[in-house]
């Protein structure tokens, strides 16, 4: 990367702001930006988080990996965290993101159909 002037220009752009956010501790990031769910995810028995468009896609990938499936379904967030369906619903509501499927706030549990 170049000198201070190029860093200054990057910091003033959207890409630059996101670049600096990556290096901040998670509690500070949560205060700066709203966390939201980005995709479906399932954990394997040994703790590997597999992402997919729908939870069924995650299960298909886990089977191809020849791993044991756990019953832990959830979502990966914009901060790269695995969350449960219930926490996912809470995050979507806090970020004021309505269900794409129902066009309403999410009740108790988030489903991949609510995302896209």
Q: Quick one: tokens of 30?
A: 């949560």
The whole-angstrom separation of Cα 48 and Cα 59 is: 12
Instruction: Examine the domain organization and report whether 72 and 46 are in the same domain.
Output: yes
pTM above 0.85, yes or no: no
Q: Residue 1: pLDDT above 80? A: no
Give residue 43's domain range: 34-115
Instruction: Examine the domain organization and report whether 81 and 92 are in the same domain.
Output: yes
Instruction: Examine the domain organization and report whether 43 and 88 are in the same domain.
Output: yes
Instruction: Examine the domain organization and report whether 23 and 64 are in the same domain.
Output: no
- Residue the block writes with tokens 């219930």: 86
Instruction: Examine the domain organization and report whether 20 and 43 are in the same domain.
Output: no
Q: What is the pLDDT of residues 58-69, one digit of tens each?
A: 999 999 999 998
Q: By the 8 A CB rule, do 26 and 98 touch?
A: no
Q: What is the pLDDT of residues 52-109, one digit of tens each?
A: 999 999 999 999 999 998 989 999 999 999 999 999 999 999 999 999 999 999 999 9
The whole-angstrom separation of Cα 116 and Cα 99 is: 8
Number of independent structural domains in the chain: 2
Instruction: Examine the domain organization and report whether 19 and 56 are in the same domain.
Output: no
Report the sign of the C-alpha dihedral through residues 15, 29, 22, 110, in that order. Answer: negative
């Amino acid at each position: 990367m170049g000198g201070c002037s190029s860093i200054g220009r990057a910091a003033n752009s959207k890409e630059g702001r996101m670049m600096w956010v990556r290096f901040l501790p998670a509690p500070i990031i949560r205060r700066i930006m709203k966390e939201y769910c980005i995709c479906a995810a399932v954990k394997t028995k040994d703790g590997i988080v597999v992402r997919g468009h729908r939870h069924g896609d995650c299960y298909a990938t886990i089977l191809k990996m020849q791993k044991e499936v756990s019953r832990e379904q959830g979502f990966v967030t914009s901060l790269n965290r695995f969350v449960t369906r219930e926490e996912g619903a809470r995050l979507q509501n806090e970020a004021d993101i309505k269900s794409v499927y129902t066009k309403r706030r999410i009740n108790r549990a988030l489903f991949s159909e609510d995302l896209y």
